[in-house]
Amino acid sequence: MTKISKHIFICIACVMLSVQVYPQQSKSAGATKKNEQLKESNKKAYEKARKKTIKHRREIQTKETRKRMDEADKRAEAYNKLDDKKWYQKIFKRKKPRR
């Protein structure tokens, strides 16, 4: 055999050894995709039910109570925003704290 044909033969053998065939891959990929779709649909259903419950809790209150709830929500939102970092602080944050 010539030198070139030996190199080609070795390259083909290496490629064949490095490529592995997984016959179960398509089945497992389909199962994982189906599982992810199921999780996503469950999550959407949960969020929809949660929003409906919150809306119902609000509707059963009196006007005065709803007003107090709105004020409490505004205070909570303002308080929670105090700890939020600005967008540029999030981008340029240090990886390691200073010593």
**Residue 63, domain extent:** 51-81
pLDDT at 20: 63
In a domain, 64, yes or no: yes
How many independent structural domains does the chain possess? 1
Take residue 68 and report the two structure tokens written for it: 């107090």
In a domain, 4, yes or no: no
In a domain, 91, yes or no: no
In a domain, 76, yes or no: yes
Rounded CA separation 40/37 (Å):
5
Q: Is the pLDDT of residue 16 over 90?
A: no
Q: What is the DSSP string of 28-60?
A: HHHHHHHHHHHHHHHHHHHHHHHHHHHHHHHHT
Contact between 61 and 68 under an 8 Å Cβ cutoff? The reply is no
In a domain, 94, yes or no: no
φ/ψ region of 96 (left if φ > 0, alpha if ψ in -120 to 50, else beta) reads: beta
Lowest mean pLDDT among 4-18, 28-42, 55-69: 4-18
